[in-house]
Amino acid sequence: MASPRMKMEQSFDFGEPSAQDAVGSASESPGAVFGISPPESSPRGGRNKRRDRPSWVKLTYTPYFDGHLWRKYGQKKIKDAEYPRLYFRCSYREDRQCLASKLLQQKNGEDPPLYEVTYTYEHTCGAPPVPFPDIVAEPQAGREGLVLRFDSPGGHGDAQMQQQGHYQSTPRNPFMMLSFGSSRQTHDQQPAFRSDLEAGSPSFPTELLPAPAPVPAINGDTDMFSTLESFAHDFDNHMHFSDNTHLPYNNISDDGYY
DNA sequence: CAGATTTGACCTCA
DNA sequence: TGAGGTCAAATCTG
């Protein structure tokens, strides 16, 4: 489709000083503005194609639950990679000049599959964290695989979910249930989180979010930051596995970073 | 109808 | 020059 492309001098430029300033140097300031912070010593050095961009990698089974709203903007088959790479960026990118983006690469076809998530830039959008549900993984009755059930932790998230009107009853809602189907997910390329990738919904249901909050003072948001940071780090703590359900965590280091 | 996703083409970098 | 990253029109979905 021969479309007149706008090329790189669009409104948004990675070389823009203000943007760089807003992000700061991730390697110097592990205290992220917002969201998952780079574990300070995992810049992917020479591996990073856009080398001037701060990035860090995380291994996770739940790549969509990192407390932010993401919009998918691309997908590409990577040479020598079994699964396609998915490209996401912050939903508030235009609104707030948030540079954060992430790159999702499925690592294996296990049940559940393991993903390598490469985050680039920190969030400068100051968007409120997506309320973290209490997650219970349990075997599906009569089927192989796992079901992740998202109970409410009580409090704000609870109210917001109930606002939905499908509380704990709508399998299509990624917040309610994720199905780890080992039973032949015909498209091998599709991650098991089909509610996200196939149902055409954002990584997180936008309707669950409160109205966008004003961008917080960057220096004064330690509360929010610690909340979100623990959000990410505490994922394992929120995740309960009912009897005889265990996941192969062995090749993930401490916080999932490496 | 608005907003999100898909997908092929284009751009940049190593 | 090929691989990876991004764009944006077309398409889909609620």
pLDDT digits (tens, 9 = 90+) for A86-112: 998 888 877 777 878 888 888 877 777
Domain assignment present for residue A229? The answer is yes
Is residue A8 included in any domain, yes or no? Answer: no
Residues contacting residue A120 through CB under 8 Å, at least 6 positions apart:
A50, A53, A54, A55, A99, A100, A101, A102, A103
Nucleotide with minimal C1' distance from the CA of A46 is B14
A149 beta partners: A136, A177
Number of domains in chain A: 1
Tell me the C-alpha distance between A85 and A221, whole Å. Answer: 33
E strands of A78-133, at which residues?
A: 85-90, 101-106, 115-120
User: Could you tell me if residue A158 is inside a domain?
Assistant: yes
Query: For position A48, what pLDDT does the model report?
Result: 38
Instruction: Write the CB contacts of A138 (distance below 8 Å, at least 6 apart in sequence).
Output: A146, A147, A149, A241, A242, A245
Q: Is nucleic acid strand B under 7 Å from A12's C-beta?
A: no
Give the residues of chain A that fall short of pLDDT 50: 1-36, 39-49, 152-256
Residue A216 in any domain: the answer is: yes
Identify the pLDDT of residue A143. Answer: 54
Within 7 Å of a protein beta carbon, the nucleotides of strand C are: 2-10, 12-14
Residue A14's pLDDT is 35
**Residue A3 structure tokens:** 């479309």
Instruction: Give me the CA A205–C1' B3 separation in Å, rounded.
Output: 12
Give residue numbers, 114 to 173 of A, with CB < 7 Å from strand C. 120, 172
Q: Which nucleotides in chain B have some atom under 7 angstroms from a protein Cβ? A: 3-14
**Cβ of residue A73 lies below 7 Å from strand C:** yes
What is the C-alpha separation between A148 and A237, in angstroms, rounded?
Answer: 14
Element (H, E) at A240: strand A239-241
What is the pLDDT, as a whole number, of residue A94? 74
User: Could you tell me the two tokens for A166?
Assistant: 């499908």
Whether residue A53 is contained in a domain is answered as yes
Yes or no: say if A199 and A191 are a contact pair by the CB < 8 Å rule.
no
Query: Would you state the pLDDT for residue A68?
Result: 80
Whether A104 maps to a domain, the answer reads yes
Q: Is the shortest CB-to-strand distance from A211 to strand C under 7 Å? A: no
Q: Which domain holds residue A236?
A: 18-241
In a domain, A254, yes or no: no
Identify whether A217 is part of a domain.
Answer: yes
pLDDT at residue A57, rounded to an integer:
82
